[in-house]
Structure 1
Amino acid sequence: MKHKLTGAGIAIVTPFKADLSVDHEALTRIVNYNIENGMDYIVISGTTGESVTITSKEKQAIINTIITANNKRVPLVLGIGGNNTAQVIAEIQSTDFSGIDAILSVSPYYSKPTQEGIKAHFESISKVSPLPIILYNVPGRTGSNMLPETTLALANTCKNIVAVKEAAGNMAQYLRLLNDKPSDFMIISGDDDLALPVTLAGGSGVISVIGQAFPKDFAKMIQLGLDGNNKEAFKLHNKLMDITGLIFSENNPSGIKAVLEVMNLCKPIVRLPLVEATDKLKKNISEFVNNYA
């Protein structure tokens, strides 16, 4: 599993039609575009996929479309998480994981559990999961930070917890995890702007948002980082730095969908309570994409 999930993964968007139904044709286009341009794996139904506004029936249809489009070319990771531990367990127990290689599970949001509560939550999920689990720490969305000692305790005691997607935006926290982790446990960046520094410091790569728009350069940047070629890798990092900042300046995934619209990959439509990127942001994104070479 370590090798399978090393490199550049994407947190894929869920494209919508004008009537807000899922656009499966656009989804297939985005899958093919990313695989053909070197992305290593795909994460389904993460935050970027607007998982909180997707029904369970839609989620299954999205999974089916991605599995079909992928055709076993790259590993697939499925997001199953939440702040109701019993509900997360029930979803895991009722899911058909054919074609899926791992689970990404977010630290419980809104409830703001203690570190002991977060640990107990993931221990309970670990006991029922038939697949390897990637923990997901994103304090900016959950309202609580899963501290390194909690992540490391889970890494040391739950053998099917194989990685963490760390998105605290805190380089010191990354370095603590990288220094103290078990040798086979993976630290995956969840911060696009820190993906290269984390990889160069010993991380296993990234689960990226911006990567799905510029897969060729982004995947190459991460591979150069894994190879320790920091000079060439930073050339690509710097080339992508402005667009990475732009897509997160209002909200995610409105920013990345605005990029994908310019590339004719999908419409910029998002579901409420999210709204589309402002005209000003769309203009700045369009200028960047049209001048990108």
Structure 2
Amino acid sequence: MSVRDLLKGTGVALVTPFKKDGSVDFDSLQKLIDYVITEGVNYVVTLGTTGETPTLTREEKIEIVHFTYAKVSERVPVVVGIGGNDTRSVINDLETYPLEKAIAVLSASPYYNKPSQEGIFQHYKEIAAASPKPILLYNVPGRTGSNITAETTIRLANEVDNIHGIKEASGNMNQCLQILRDKPQEFLVVSGDDNLALAQIACGMRGLISVAANCFAKDMSALVEAALQDDFTTARVLNNKLLKGYELLFAENNPAGVKAVLSEMGIIENYLRLPLVPLSPVIHNQIRDYLPKLK
């Protein structure tokens, strides 16, 4: 089965739960994994940006990957996030991280050093050649400071064999439409924006890698499935139900919003690693007011 078929539907970019002392809370991570799978997500993404990976050590990342494989226990596919702004370091990680049980690697475009489109192309060409697993591009210019243009995405899709798809989180609908129009048939395109996923699936995307599915797993999974089945009446109802939730999750920073919701649900404790901090009391109280309305 192709990556395009295996990763259709709702993926969830898992948070990394922490204890009060700052260590990784593996008991809570197990609860979270069990919750999202039980509630219907189609696959999980570990070590994504939502997992606060910039603050995790290499040793913690490797332990989290092993733990995720063990607790998922082949119930759904696992995608591993490996990216960075030093191509050599990314290649080293691809060659040394435990990827045997991964379906694919999600790799964010290099951040901060703001490469040209040719630099982005060469970066992905090099890491794709080194990767033992299919590469999914991750375009998130709001975080990286540079955009992977539609032209570069299509060039990579056509010219680099081991690049199989993209998580597109530019928020630029015209760019998304260009990618969907020009991509090869088997190239996977999924949304990286919870609040745009309904519209983007209607335009041809195959699903969503979601932040909101950490805490709104059942509704997000049902929304995406309905949209993929062209049942836009159901999808619109669910999307309207979640609109305020999207706003609250991203009101200050990600994953502070989703961690606040998960803490209210009793799945994790509300701890982040600096420089991220928990939500302000004002927004957290709005979350407390909102959650009963979802039931």
Q: TM-score range by the shorter chain?
A: over 0.9
1:171 to 160, 163, 173: 173
For residues 143 and 193 of structure 1, the distance between their equivalents in structure 2, rounded to whole angstroms, comes to 21
The alignment partner of 1:266 has SS state of coil
Q: Normalization by structure 2: what TM-score?
A: 0.98
Which residue is equivalent to 2:256? 254
Cα displacement (A) at 1:95: 1.7
Letter in 2 for 1:62: I
For residues 169 and 83 of structure 1, the distance between their equivalents in structure 2, rounded to whole angstroms, comes to 22
The alignment partner of 1:176 has SS state of helix
For residues 31 and 253 of structure 2, the distance between their equivalents in structure 1, rounded to whole angstroms, comes to 23
Q: Does residue 201 of structure 2 align to residue 199 of structure 1?
A: yes
For residues 253 and 16 of structure 1, the distance between their equivalents in structure 2, rounded to whole angstroms, comes to 12
Which residue is equivalent to 2:45? 43
Letter in 1 for 2:9: G
2:286 to 261, 279, 284: 284
Cα displacement (A) at 1:291: 2.5
Cα displacement (A) at 1:98: 2.4
Q: Normalization by structure 1: what TM-score?
A: 0.99
1:181 to 172, 183, 190: 183
For residues 124 and 226 of structure 1, the distance between their equivalents in structure 2, rounded to whole angstroms, comes to 34
Q: How many residues align?
A: 293
Which residue is equivalent to 1:85? 87
For residues 253 and 215 of structure 2, the distance between their equivalents in structure 1, rounded to whole angstroms, comes to 16
Cα displacement (A) at 1:96: 2.2
Which residue is equivalent to 2:231? 229
- List per-residue Cα deviations over 1:32-68 (Å, max 9, x = no partner): 0010111000001011000000001111111122111
Task: Tell whether the 8 Å contact from 2:194 to 2:208 is kept in structure 1 after alignment.
Answer: yes
For residues 244 and 293 of structure 2, the distance between their equivalents in structure 1, rounded to whole angstroms, comes to 12
1:148 to 133, 147, 150: 150
Cα displacement (A) at 1:163: 0.7
For residues 8 and 94 of structure 1, the distance between their equivalents in structure 2, rounded to whole angstroms, comes to 28
Letter in 2 for 1:8: T
- List per-residue Cα deviations over 1:91-138 (Å, max 9, x = no partner): 111122122111000000000000000000000001111111110000
1:37-76 map, 5 Å: 37-76=39-78
Cα displacement (A) at 1:286: 1.2
For residues 115 and 100 of structure 2, the distance between their equivalents in structure 1, rounded to whole angstroms, comes to 32
For residues 103 and 132 of structure 1, the distance between their equivalents in structure 2, rounded to whole angstroms, comes to 6
For residues 292 and 217 of structure 1, the distance between their equivalents in structure 2, rounded to whole angstroms, comes to 9
For residues 34 and 21 of structure 2, the distance between their equivalents in structure 1, rounded to whole angstroms, comes to 24
Cα displacement (A) at 1:220: 0.8
Letter in 2 for 1:122: Y
Off by >3 Å, runs of 4+ in structure 1: none
For residues 196 and 161 of structure 2, the distance between their equivalents in structure 1, rounded to whole angstroms, comes to 27
Cα displacement (A) at 1:290: 2.3
For residues 169 and 139 of structure 1, the distance between their equivalents in structure 2, rounded to whole angstroms, comes to 9
For residues 8 and 236 of structure 2, the distance between their equivalents in structure 1, rounded to whole angstroms, comes to 19
CA RMSD after TM alignment? 0.7
Gaps of 5+ in 1: none
Gaps of 5+ in 2: none
- List per-residue Cα deviations over 1:235-263 (Å, max 9, x = no partner): 00110110111110100000100010110
Which residue is equivalent to 2:216? 214
Identity of aligned residues (%): 45
- List per-residue Cα deviations over 1:66-86 (Å, max 9, x = no partner): 111101010000010000000
- List per-residue Cα deviations over 1:185-236 (Å, max 9, x = no partner): 1111001100111111110100000111111111011011111111111100
Task: Tell whether the 8 Å contact from 2:65 to 2:98 is kept in structure 1 after alignment.
Answer: no
